[in-house]
Chain A
Amino acid sequence: MRRYWSGLGLAAVLAAAGCGLGDTGQPAAAPGATATGEVKGKVSLQTWALKPKFTDYMQKVIDSFEKKYPGVEVEWLDQPGDGYSDKVLSQAAGNSLPDVTNLPPEYALPLVKQGLLLDVAQADPAVKDEYVPGGLSAYTYPGVQGVYGYPWYLNTDVNYWNSELMAENGLDAKKPPASFDELVAQARTLKDKSGGKVYLMSRKPELGDFVQAGVKLVSDDGKHFTFNTPEAAALLDKYRDAFKQGLLPRDVLTDTYAGNAKLFNEGTVAWTTGGGNYITSLAVDNPSLAPKVVPSPAFGTPPLYVQGLSVSAKSKNAPAALALARWVTSAENQAAFAHLVAIFPSTKASANDPFFSKSDGTNAGDAKVMAFASLAKAKMLEPVVLTEAMKKIVKQQFALAISGEVSSKEALDTAVAKCDELLQG
């Protein structure tokens, strides 16, 4: 018996010793690196779900890079869309992060805290002159010096209105609501005239909506959430009243409904938001609806969606990795990419490209130009410290507030307390 217990004790000690607890868990200092040195050697580039649709494009970009730098060999890895964060996490934990990796800003932050990414602004000071400030600020984090990714491509949202549905119910898509109160008023008109068969609003509020209402989401040092304010509670109250009046589908509470865009595509909802290319993709799903869609700029500050390329701090060929990241995100290569898919370049040189700034006169062309123009004032509305677990908790508390189960203040206080616990835990 004694042997049994001592064996178990030994196993526990071994487990404690080997369970990955050796690290301090403290944020590591940002590694210094330099872009100087010869661009040569083997470098890996990891992209996210670009194969097979953009294989030709990426291969051309890589081939031209290898041609420019004959001493470099690029190994291109493309990961599937699902489970990308898990893949990057396992690479980071296993010390096998590729030299250049496509990381959205919120994925890059935990790697920055562990000192796994290069400060590209330190290594390559020209980045600040060549990329738009919104893109660069997405890779700049509170409490950490530096820029941790080359902004790659950008996108934002535009409002889309179903003009036919609105006209049938006494509304004019050419005069869309300009504020939340007007939105609710028009939603009421649509509901009354249609007998509750169609909706104008079909989504719960998100933290980004609080930003529009002037609510600060997180403290300057990024260590506390601050969105439990009277203004935020007032906005939730308005949503709760709208929900009570039946102005939103009931299943927005659990997101079990088909989805805002899906309902719009089906013609049962008259308003949705989407990227600049939304009408073009709608023309495939519902060709008869697409010509009836009228775009308008997003309410308040448009959201900014950013993708970027980060460089591993442990790259054995840092000059080549930096050169590759810069090459893929260059104005020329981004413009070529934007001709293939509805994204916008993050380079200042693309600002005057007529492809983005002049409409062809169609509603799809108008939407693209509107989205491109919106980028100038677009911002990342949700803080990068917001994790998936926090987002879920916020959604759950918002659902409780809107259903009237708890007061808006109570829901906000709980959401902030739980998110703070996760942030600091």
Chain B
Amino acid sequence: MTHRRWFTPWLLVAPAVGWLLVFNLWPSLNTVVLAFTNAKPLGGGHFTGLANFARALDDSQLTDALVNSVVYMLVCLPLLTMLPLLLAILVEKRLPGITFFRTAFYTPVVASAVVVALIWGWVLDDRGLVNGFAQWLGVVAEPVPFLTDRWLLLFSAISLTVWKGLGYYMIIYLSALGNVRRELHEAAAVDGAGAVRRFWSVTVPGVRNTMLLVSVLVSVSALRVFSELYVLSNGTGGPGGRDMSVVMLIQLYTRGFSGHLGYASALSIVLFVITVGPMLLLLRLDRKAA
């Protein structure tokens, strides 16, 4: 005879629920509340209504940061959705030594984002490897301002994100490709479909759901980018601070004894809204396509 107690399931989920409440729900609610105040780390704050959001509308740094984040997402999204898939198709083949390539492509994922960004900083610096080599070859007379030009710095950071993310999404696609039935490829080949046709008509539909997942993950992480831009700009946000992402802006306002927690919370809500937007759009597109 089994003895059932009504609270047993609750006891089992209690640690997870407790964790969610304390470290997810409570801080989220707190952020919403703080966004309507002028709270500081010391001494509390007052309710200020929509003042923080009005200030955000008038903040040229936020405009720059939003432009940077959207450009980041628009460039990263197609590159990190398609390139890892192509890479996965390449390394999916069972050839001698293929494991080496799989591991090599995955290595940047394991490396710390900060360390990788530091190395890229040295490589792209005015006196760095790339400029030194280009000048030695006589391709350029002056160093290319990878880290001192607003757009070049942004695209350098995007390159870093793409390079680092390739391996991660490649692994996701590898597992998805395993589920695409081999017979479909064989049947298409028999019907005369070439490699490109089979890619678009068999592989892509077969990994469509995974592509959607990757697109969502890429969009969200691109909009929340921090480490790459922070380290490549040495924390300055690029020339004139015009390469800041929204997360860097939030970090700017939260640090120190006089941190502006209210305004930083309002910026967090703005970021949350713009992050949820593309997610919903992608899900809607998927539903329509289905």
Contacts and interface: CB of A to CB of B under 8 A. Distances in A.
B252 to A, nearest CB: 5
A399 B41 CA distance: 30
B38 interface: yes
A126 interface: no
B239 A389 contact: no
B97 interface: no
A74 interface: no
Contacts of B208: none
B256 A388 contact: yes
Given A113-B43, A403-B239, A255 B234 contact: yes
B53 interface: no
12 contacts: A22-B44, A24-B43, A26-B43, A89-B42, A111-B42, A250-B148, A396-B236, A396-B242, A405-B239, A422-B260, A425-B38, A425-B260
Given A405-B240, A425-B263, A15 B44 contact: no
B92 interface: no
Interface stretch (B27-35, B75-83, B170-178, B199-207): B27-35
- Which 7 pairs from chain A and chain B are nearest by CB? A23-B44, A396-B241, A400-B240, A110-B257, A15-B29, A25-B43, A253-B239
Contacts of B148: 250-251, 253-254, 256
A374 to B, nearest CB: 29
A77 interface: no
A256 B234 contact: yes
Main secondary structure of the interface of A (DSSP, over half): helix
Interface of B: 25-26, 29-30, 32-34, 37-47, 55, 121, 125-126, 143, 145, 147-148, 153, 232-242, 252-253, 255-260, 263
Given A89-B41, A114-B43, A254 B260 contact: no
B45 A25 contact: yes
Interface string A101-124: 000000101110110000000000
Given A25-B46, A89-B41, A114-B42, A15 B258 contact: no
A249 B127 CA distance: 10
Contacts of A114: 42-43
Contacts of B46: 21, 24-25
A11 interface: yes
A376 interface: no
A256 B258 contact: no
Contacts of B29: 11-12, 15
Given A254-B233, A389-B255, A396 B240 contact: yes
Contact of A107 (B39, B233, B257): B257
A385 to B, nearest CB: 8
Contacts of B34: 19
B240 A19 contact: no
Q: Contact size class for A?
A: 35 or more
Contact of A256 (B45, B125, B241): B125
B147 A19 contact: no
B44 to A, nearest CB: 3
Contact of B238 (A12, A15, A254): A254
Given A19-B34, A400-B240, A254 B234 contact: yes
B143 to A, nearest CB: 8
Most chain A CB within 10 A, of B40, B237, B240, is at: B240
A392 B241 contact: yes
B236 A20 contact: no
Given A255-B234, A425-B260, A388 B255 contact: yes
A386 to B, nearest CB: 10
A353 B256 CA distance: 38
A351 interface: no
Contacts of B126: 249-251, 257
A334 interface: no
Nearest to B44: A23
Given A110-B257, A387-B257, A422-B258, A93 B41 contact: yes
A254 B232 CA distance: 9
A289 interface: no
A280 to B, nearest CB: 28
B24 to A, nearest CB: 13
Given A15-B26, A253-B148, 6 more contacts: A89-B257, A93-B41, A114-B43, A250-B126, A254-B147, A254-B236
A25 B258 CA distance: 11
A243 to B, nearest CB: 11
Contacts of A283: none
Interface in A346-381: none
A375 B39 CA distance: 39
A202 interface: no
Contacts of A393: 241
B45 A403 contact: no
A117 to B, nearest CB: 12
A403 to B, nearest CB: 6
Most chain B CB within 10 A, of A85, A396, A397, is at: A396
B33 A392 contact: no
A395 B148 CA distance: 14
Contacts of A93: 41-42
Nearest to A403: B239
A256 B242 CA distance: 15
A185 interface: no
Contacts of A12: 29, 32-33
Most chain A CB within 10 A, of B25, B55, B126, is at: B126
A218 interface: no
